[in-house]
Structure 1
Amino acid sequence: MLEVAEQDKKMSEKQKKIVAAAIELFAERGFAATSTSEIAKRAGVAEGTIFRHYKTKKDLLTSITMPIMIESVAPFLARNFVAEVFEQEYPDFRTFLTALVRNRFEFARENSSVVKIYMQELLYHDEMREQFSKIFMVHVKGQFDRIINFYKERGEINDMPNSTIMRALITNIIGFLITRFMIMPQANWEDDAEIERTVTCILNGIS
């Protein structure tokens, strides 16, 4: 569960409990399937307390939950992503790609509630898409370009536009993570083997 940002001095203890409960329930059931009465029960407050702070359930999602997650998680994701994956040396593209997939896998496993809400709600909230686009362009895209160009020069990646290669990488990795943590989380997964198979599928398409 994502903790409510302690630096937000304007948020009361009850508000923090409401937001924390909303994050848990939105992740478990989705926004549409979660009622304010369920949020109130999980938070240990009266339902009327929610409406004293937020006019509607949508206000709770868009005005509080999403900004907190964006501020707390997305910059952390980008900074650590770059440091842990792109600022390392790899003997070949397969080793880099394996590190990339494993890094995002571990992040999704450790932050499964937040990841679920992002995946569920990203298509419906312009501010989330805009923030992710900004973070990707500022922190990640240049690093992707550098790595792709390096392995192109070594002949390990086909000479396709970098944007096409990025789309192939992102689509395959996100597809794997959605299946693993959202669609079939209870399946009998062999995670290490599945990571290697995902890497092989990507390489067969771009190398």
Structure 2
Amino acid sequence: MYNRDFIMEELFEDEEGLTEKQKKIIIAAIESFSEKGYAATSTSEIAKKAGVAEGTIFRHYKTKKDLLVSIVAPMIAKFIAPFVIKDLYKVLDQQFERFEDFLKAMIENRAEFLKNNLPMFKIFIQEIPFHPELKALFKEHIVNKVYERFSELIKHYQDRGQIIELPAYSIVRLVVSSIFGYLFGRYLLFPEADWDDEAEIERTIDFIMHGLKPKN
């Protein structure tokens, strides 16, 4: 279960001008969009969960779409991006002897991050494909900042002969899609299943390395 108080503390640190009612609306929106999705959530439901009148929402946010973009989108820049990049760089900046070791550290790192931030992750997965504003922010604050560092790391292991000579963007796509597939199934599709996480991580790594190891 995510730490609601921690989210509130991080989101509103150094933030001025927000009332307690606005903070309640934000948390209610996070929880409602995560549980039901943007399209299936009404502003009246958000208001009820927040303990405010529906009119209070519209005094601050003109429409439900404005609520999504004005509250959820800034979280990418203010909350998600710094944690994703800082947390992921802990892995990217370490010196791992083998590419397999790097993959394992990255999967474990991302799994821990998702467990602690599952509601936001669910919102982004559900809504980013349908809202260009969120997609642009995600690309600007996360994708572009991580890709260059990731590409350098791939070149490092290619120079050591551990992975095949493919364009960096192809390797990033193959690696990320495999890791994301495991995390998506583990934490969103089938979280109630009897998972052997250690074994599943090893299978994911074996699958990736089977395609990326140079042919002798």
The TM-score range, normalised by the shorter chain, is over 0.9
Inter-CA distance 185–113: structure 2 relative to 1 (3 Å threshold): same
Inter-CA distance 178–7: structure 2 relative to 1 (3 Å threshold): same
Give the aligned length. Answer: 206
Aligned equivalent of 1:57: 64
Deviation at 1:65, TM superposition (A): 2.3
- From 106, 109, 114, the equivalent of 2:115 is 109
Letter in 2 for 1:133: K
Tell whether the 8 Å contact from 2:104 to 2:205 is kept in structure 1 after alignment: yes
1:1-207 equivalences in 2 (<5 Å): 1=4, 2-3=7-8, 4-82=11-89, 84-136=90-142, 138-207=144-213
Worse-superposed segment, 88-97 or 130-139: 130-139
**C-alpha separation in 2, matches of 1:10 and 1:42:** 22
**C-alpha separation in 1, matches of 2:195 and 2:189:** 12
Deviation at 1:157, TM superposition (A): 0.4
RMSD: 1.6
**C-alpha separation in 2, matches of 1:62 and 1:150:** 39
Structure 1 gaps, min length 5: none
Give TM-score scaled by structure 1 length.
0.92
Letter in 2 for 1:166: V
Give TM-score scaled by structure 2 length.
0.89
**C-alpha separation in 1, matches of 2:55 and 2:140:** 37
Deviation at 1:137, TM superposition (A): 5.4
Regions of 4+ moved over 4 Å = none
Letter in 2 for 1:36: T
